[in-house]
Amino acid sequence: MVEDIHQRVTELLCSKICHDLISPVGAINNGIELLTDLTSGMQEDAVSLIGDSSRQVASRLAYFRHAFGGWGDGAAAEFGTIRRLVESHSNDNRMDLSWRQKPDDGDVVEKHAGKILLNLVLLAGECARRSATLEIAFAAPLDNLKLEIKLTGDRCALHPETRTGFDQDLGAEDLTVRNVVAFYSGQIAQANRLVLKYSDESPDSIEFNVTE
């Protein structure tokens, strides 16, 4: 079967979503089992496990909806919504987040700008080991998007397979769950005439830069 590149991207993004939700959903199931076992004496722990895992599932679903989805009928969103998603994801991945520059929460951010920010933060989270610091400078006026993301921490590095995803000449057969987010980020940049660059030459540091 010959696969269309867009079909392949869709399939792999769906696979990634399922993969990232398996762990907290499994934890909810475990919590329910403990809760129904009246002899375990772990009902309080089970309730805590279910609550924490449910919040994690809801947070990840909201993140994926904005990073990969169509944003409903809208072509823009308030920055406050995007900021909360980034902060939640950073906490989920043990990254200490600092904003060097950002819009006000009520400022409207166009979909492509918000999506490329969320996808690159998603990549940063995959590169973080143990603990890391994530610095973001994000300016998103209608005519001059500028985005700088820097991740620093012990052994923070792009996986070689992830790095290949930035090549927009990849064929469908070369796309994988590991490199599809990088490829999708490049698609967003290319479709909106943005320049996306990355650097991981420095030890324990990764940088992403997006400009008009």
* pLDDT, tens digit, 9 for 90 and up, residues 110-156: 999 999 999 999 999 998 887 899 999 999 886 789 999 999 998 88
User: What predicted TM-score, i.e. pTM, was given to this entire model?
Assistant: 0.92
When divided into structural domains, the chain yields a total of: 1
Q: In percent, how much of the chain has pLDDT > 90?
A: 69
Q: Could you tell me the residue range of the domain that residue 92 belongs to?
A: 5-211
The CATH number for 49's domain is 3.30.565.10
DSSP of the chain: -PPPHHHHHHHHHHHHHHHHHHHHHHHHHHHHHHHH-TTSS-HHHHHHHHHHHHHHHHHHHHHHHHHHS--TT-SEEEHHHHHHHHHHHHHHTTEEEEEEE---TTSEEEHHHHHHHHHHHHHHHHH--SSEEEEEEEE--TT--EEEEEEESTT----HHHHHTT-TT--GGG--TTTHHHHHHHHHHHHTT-EEEEE--STTEEEEEEE-
More confident residue, 151 or 73: 151
Q: Give the model's pLDDT for residue 3.
A: 65
Cα separation, 98 vs 91, whole angstroms: 12
The pLDDT-based confidence of 38 (bands split at 50, 70, 90) is low
